[in-house]
Amino acid sequence: MRALAYFKKGDIHFADDLPEPTINSDEEVLIEVSWAGICGTDLHEYSDGPIFMPQDGGSHPLSGKKLPQPMGHEMSGIVSKIGSKVTKVKVGDHVVVEAGCSCMDVKRWKESPLKGGKTCSACEKGLVNICAHACFTGLGTSGGGFAERLTVSQDHCIPIPKDLPLDVAALVEPLSVTWHAAKVAGFQKGQTACVLGAGPIGLATILTLKGLGASKIVVSELAQIRRDMAASMGVEVFNPAEHKDAIAELRKIPEGATGFDAAFDCSGVKATFNTALHVTTFRGVSVNIAIWGNKPIDYYPMDITLQEKRLTGSIGYTVQDFKEVVEAIHTGEIPIDDCRQMITGKQKLEDGWEKGFVELMNHKETNVKILLTPNNHNELST
């Protein structure tokens, strides 16, 4: 099988001889991949990894799967085969894949070191996205969307309307990350929000907040090209470098208020963490969506206490988040045209390393989301 795969530390490349995925469980589904997006986490696996991927020569602690593995956890495709007990999808369905894996999935993998073990306390409460063993399809547990085909449990397949373009559908995964974050924040229609950073997750946060009916969204971003992209989505942009006291200026923007109802840190540096915490109004909420490195930072707890603010984080998503995002796109609450603005490149699988990974690593300022396709169902011009 053709795939762009992770072979070992510092080695991601295209190959045409990877093993074909097969249905090994009555509840598994075989999917022909249409499109899969390259995520910043994929880039980190190359530059800093293995992070989620198995260590060289080892196996994944959740699934027992070894390298090499096709990468890609943001994907859309068409169901081509189903197990005998599958009822949630049928052959021919267009689907997206909720890529999260937890200890609730170990029944699928005969090689799992956790097979027969006790379910973690988070999963027992239904909080599978914060499972003690959480990982992702295409990011360590099993092969993902940078391949012609993959198998997943029916529980992770979300059917989509056939009039929803499959390239746009590949954005459901990053949109679900931000949709989940907004739910963690308790964000309500009519509230105001400040988004720190206009990279892929920052732009997805804009679309989520618009879909949820935010009354005002302001995006703080240093790079002109990313501010322009955010502005094209119909939100106000702010350049913190132009202000002596950027936090004070941001707090003035919501009319009749002393800051925003919510702030979302999509950058993951000390400056944006601090800004997110301070631009919220009393009883406002600051949400960290960004994935940080290993360096801790200091903050003053009384900045939260004196105004009864909330500081929280959000990780991943659930199947329900995926369903709600699909519905929001289908009904136009998240416009398809806005989604398309996030897609800055489409490449064939064979070119995924040079024209995908390398391009994103070297030119982050001009790229947001590059999609790869085995070209089974779509032309690059679609």
Is 364 in a helix, a strand, or coil? coil
Cβ count near 345 (within 10 Å): 18
Residues 124 and 222 in one domain: no
Over residues 174-231, the pLDDT tens digits come to 999 999 999 999 999 999 999 999 999 999 999 999 999 999 999 999 989 899 999 9
| Same domain, yes or no: 235 and 345 | no
Query: pLDDT tens for residues 338-357?
Result: 999 999 999 999 999 999 99
Domains in the chain, number: 2
Residues 96 and 210 in one domain: no
Spatial distance between the Cα atoms of 27 and 88, rounded to a whole number of angstroms:
9
Mean pLDDT of the chain: 93
Give residue 278's pLDDT. 97
Q: Is residue 169 a part of any domain in this protein?
A: no
The whole-angstrom distance between residue 222's C-alpha and the CA centroid of its chain comes to: 22
Q: Is 207 in the same domain as 238?
A: yes
Residue 116 sits in the same domain as residue 23: yes
Examine residue 210 and state whether it is found in any structural domain, yes or no.
Answer: yes
For residue 328, what is the DSSP state? Answer: H
Give domain status of residue 322, yes or no: no
| Stronger pLDDT, 166 or 364, i.e. the higher one | 166
Same domain, 99 and 211: no
Is 170 inside a domain boundary? Answer: no
* Model pLDDT for residues 40-97, shown as the tens digit of each residue: 889 989 988 888 899 888 899 999 999 999 999 999 999 999 999 999 999 999 999 9
* Containing structural domain, residue 103: 3-159+335-373
Whether 205 and 301 share a structural domain: yes
Question: Pick from 283, 287, 286, 288: which is nearest to 309 by CA?
Answer: 283
Q: How far apart are CA 104 and CA 108, in angstroms?
A: 9
Which residues, 6 or more positions from 22, have their beta carbon under 8 angstroms from its beta carbon? 30, 151
Angle at Cα 143 formed by Cα 140 and Cα 149, nearest 5°? Answer: 165
Are residues 148 and 22 both part of a single domain?
Answer: yes
Q: How far is CA 208 from CA 240, 328, 356, in A?
A: 23, 9, 25
In a shared domain, residues 45 and 104: yes
The pTM (predicted TM-score) of the whole model is 0.93
Task: Answer yes or no: do 75 and 207 share one domain.
Answer: no
User: Please, which residues have CB within 8 angstroms of residue 1's CB and are 6 or more apart in sequence?
Assistant: 16, 17, 18, 19, 20, 21, 147, 148, 149
Residue at 329 is within a domain: no
Q: What is the CATH number of the domain that holds 238?
A: 3.40.50.720
Residue 124 and residue 104: Cα distance in Å, rounded?
9
Residues 340 and 296 in one domain: no
Whether residues 230 and 308 fall in one domain: yes
Question: The CATH number of the domain where 155 resides is what?
Answer: 3.90.180.10
